[in-house]
Amino acid sequence: MNSEQRVRNALKAILVEECKVDASSIQDASRLQDDLGLDSMTLLSLALEVENFLGCALEEDPENPPLTVGALIELAVARLEEQRNVA
């Protein structure tokens, strides 16, 4: 399984289990707040769970945070690749 698929599966599991999002509503274009209904506390929890999965910080740009599931997947995959290149 490639990095993107691992991240996608983990993110979906986190959204369903930790954030109580209906699995059928999770698409790459789904907006985290507007479509999935995540509030600021749930977004923080989501970020922490994703960081735990990655084993490193997401280090998202506070001025331009990921707004969609797809954007969060891209960011997480990029961090995994960076981590792999450092090791």
**What CA–CA distance (Å, rounded) separates 68 from 29?**
6
Handedness of CA 72, 73, 78, 82 (dihedral sign): positive
- CATH tag, 3-86: 1.10.1200.10
Domains in the chain: boundaries: 3-86
Tens-level pLDDT at each residue, the chain (87 residues): 788 999 999 999 999 999 999 999 999 999 999 999 999 999 999 999 999 988 888 998 889 999 999 999 999 999 988 888 876
Tell me which residue has tokens 């996608």.
8
Q: Quickly tell me which residue has 């699995």 as its tokens.
A: 23
Predicted TM-score of the model (pTM): 0.92
Q: Rounded CA gap, 26 and 72, in Å?
A: 12
